[in-house]
Structure 1
Amino acid sequence: MSESSSTEMQYRTLGNTGERVSAIGLGGWHLGLKHVDEQLALRIVHSAIDRGITFMDNSWDYNGGVSETRMGKALRDGYRDKVFLMTKIDGRSNQEATKQLDEALQRLQVDHIDLVQYHEILRFEDPHRIFDPEGSHAALIEAQQAGKLRYIGFTGHKDPAIHLHMLEVADNYGFQFATAQLPLNVMDAHYRSFAKLVLPELVKRNIGVLGMKSMANGILLQSNTVTPIECLHYALNLPTSVVITGIDSLEILDQAFEAVRTFQPMTEEQVQALLAKTVEAGSRGEFEPFKTSSIFDSTAQNPDWLGEEPQRLQQLMSA
């Protein structure tokens, strides 16, 4: 993974796409939170881009579409051309994926999205539903051919085995993802570790690594073992193309840039010293509730977002 830098930001290559993107990505979920009004959201996005962040994260389901709508407004007046825009869809069926993608394009006010990812691959059946002839993959390939999106990836936060299964099922259909998004943080190394089990496979395949939940929305910090800067440094030190972080204030934006400014590749001894501080707190997944509970699983709470199961399977059940 090659790197370059500007005055405030570092840039890395996004896997097999060859795209150059900022090492820090702006998390879209926080832009639609109740304590972040629209004007603040626009200021955050504009300031981030003006200072060198190019990777924009979002999802069709974030805050009922408010996050995408606000980002769409922020990307007017020439800002769209300065960013690599990503969003996610939940639909597993062709019909639902098409609907969600079209809604995302309208909210974001763009004619194409650089990267669309299958959101919340949390269940072993998700890959099969996506790659079914009636599934969402057919819809995204059609949209890609129509110029509505450029690259396709997937996300998940539950279990490394499910990420590996997604790659295996994609292999069976002759498809290689451009990106994969996964939790990468100082606790992950100690419990059902994505860094240990999935990251080497992504690097081997040259799939762009999108790190998320470096602080788990602040939950990791409640362990009183590490600082925000240490969390970001750890994630930046992994072979990540982008570390996506939630930013709900200009002060937190400053913190992200400070992490980049002070980042230096860590020695193995430095990494182990940092992980030693979190080994006890991280050993049971207590501070990674996205792995150990359904609190973070929006598609579990809203199963209709996934769409219907393939008709042929329903026919098998009724035969």
Structure 2
Amino acid sequence: MKYRKMPKTGDELSALGFGCMRLPMGENGKVDTDEAVRVIRRGIDGGINYVDTAWPYHDGDGELYLAKALKDGYREKVFLATKLPVWLAEKPEDMDDFLDRQLERLETGHIDYYLVHALNKARWRHAESLKVGEFLDRAKRAGKIKNAGFSFHDGPDLFDAILNAYDWDLCQIQYNFIDRNYQAGEKGLKAAAEKGLGVIVMEPLRGGALVRTVPEDVAKIWRENAPGRSPAQWGLRWLWDQPEVSVVLSGMSSMEQVEDNLEAAEQGYPGNLTETERTAVDKAARIYMDRMAVNCTGCRYCMPCPAGVKIPECFAQYNKVTMLDDLAGAKQFYGVLTKDGGKASQCVECGKCETACPQNIPIRKALKEVVQLLENEN
């Protein structure tokens, strides 16, 4: 296991972090508690010392499962991260109540890394109205949290705004060799690092989609350049190749995944790839991008949409289907992204977006395809 120093805290965190959003499931459709404990502890025994969960994981019981795994001295071996479900807070004191309940659920006296969860424009506006910065300062003074951060799911302009709105210790972004310009993207990674924040990377394998279904032409690239290296190891090592990345979270749900990732993490240092290997990853990324249904770069020139459609997000999920054959995952994430509005079906065909799009995408037509694919039963 390789370790990286968090810029502001000095903590030496494992390059591989354990994300507890996809714990092992039993035949009854619920988390297999014994297996989850075994898998998490194997990761910790293998050198992982950053463990991440959140209030809503596993139908609200994720923190309880993790607490079981961290008994018997394992809590003292890790830096524990969880997140504030700010969208559920109605008044400032609610945030204090959530934190106190999380401390109870996790059976701990403090949270090492506490993040404001899944920020987008609406949630950040709500967090600001609740004076979330004052809450975080208050929690730090009380010793309930050691470090404060945020996880992010929106565009680059909002990311920059949040980055400069508080003295954060860390941020968490979605980033992988395909999603280099999605949401915060590579620019966000570098901007956060320049400000001295630690950067935690989530969805390094797009929720496993870069591993579950690998196009033969991509598989051939992997075989020719490093026989025996798994697709997961390619994706993880590409991230660790970059010095700005502090921790790469993997949602491991089996012992096989843990062992594979631990093996990869032995090479989890900046500069671990050769130039030839970097070129191979770029070629693989181009193959995936050529399968893209809509050539949307996420530049957001089309935004804001007068009808409230989340145009780049709609296309990102549409592309997930064609690039990764992941219809189920795309539908699930689309539902989350548009829970509070922004669906493709809200389009009123005003055409304003098309006049602003530098890629000349027929956006209105493409949004109808999104509706057919992701909103209709099929």
- TM class, shorter-length: 0.7 to 0.9
- What root-mean-square deviation, in Å, do the aligned CA atoms of Structure 1 and Structure 2 show? 2.7
What is the CA deviation profile of residues 56-101 of structure 1, one whole-angstrom value per residue up to 9, with x for unaligned ones? 0100111123211011111112111110000011215423322321
Q: Find 2:246's aligned residue among 223, 226, 241.
A: 241
* Structure 2 partner of 1:138: 134
Amino acid at match of 1:184: Y
Q: Does 1:255 align with 2:260?
A: yes
Change (3 A) 1:213 1:43: same
Superposition pairs of residues 131-210 of structure 1, within 5 angstroms: 131-132=128-129, 134-168=130-164, 170=165, 175-189=166-180, 191-192=181-182, 194-210=184-200
Q: Distance in 2 between matches of 1:85 and 1:260?
A: 19
Change (3 A) 1:119 1:82: same
* Structure 1 partner of 2:14: 22
- Structure 1 portions without partners, runs of 5+: 1-8, 304-319
Q: Distance in 1 between matches of 2:109 and 2:337?
A: 27
* Structure 1 partner of 2:232: 228
Amino acid at match of 2:235: C
Q: Distance in 2 between matches of 1:69 and 1:299?
A: 26
* Structure 2 partner of 1:51: 46
Is the 8 Å Cα contact of residues 98 and 140 (structure 1) preserved in structure 2? Answer: no
Q: Distance in 2 between matches of 1:35 and 1:130?
A: 32
Q: Distance in 2 between matches of 1:84 and 1:260?
A: 18
- The alignment-based identity, stated in percent, is 27
Amino acid at match of 1:166: I
Q: Distance in 2 between matches of 1:141 and 1:135?
A: 10
Q: Distance in 2 between matches of 1:262 and 1:113?
A: 29
Amino acid at match of 1:266: L
Tell me the TM-score normalized by structure 1: 0.81
Amino acid at match of 1:127: W
Q: Quick check: 46-55 or 264-273, which moved more?
A: 264-273
Is the 8 Å Cα contact of residues 56 and 83 (structure 1) preserved in structure 2? Answer: yes
Superposition pairs of residues 60-75 of structure 1, within 5 angstroms: 60-75=55-70
User: What is the aligned length?
Assistant: 287
* Structure 2 partner of 1:31: 23
Deviation of 1:193 after TM superposition, in Å, equals 6.1
Is the 8 Å Cα contact of residues 121 and 163 (structure 1) preserved in structure 2? Answer: no
* Structure 2 partner of 1:277: 284
Q: Distance in 2 between matches of 1:300 and 1:32?
A: 28
* Structure 2 partner of 1:90: 85
Q: Distance in 2 between matches of 1:164 and 1:268?
A: 31
What is the CA deviation profile of residues 134-168 of structure 1, one whole-angstrom value per residue up to 9, with x for unaligned ones? 33332222121111111100011333332222113
Answer 1 or 2: higher relative contact order, Cα 8 Å, separation at least 6. 1
What is the CA deviation profile of residues 165-203 of structure 1, one whole-angstrom value per residue up to 9, with x for unaligned ones? 2113x1xxxx321001011211112x4363432011112
Tell me the TM-score normalized by structure 2: 0.69
Deviation of 1:302 after TM superposition, in Å, equals 8.1
Deviation of 1:50 after TM superposition, in Å, equals 1.3
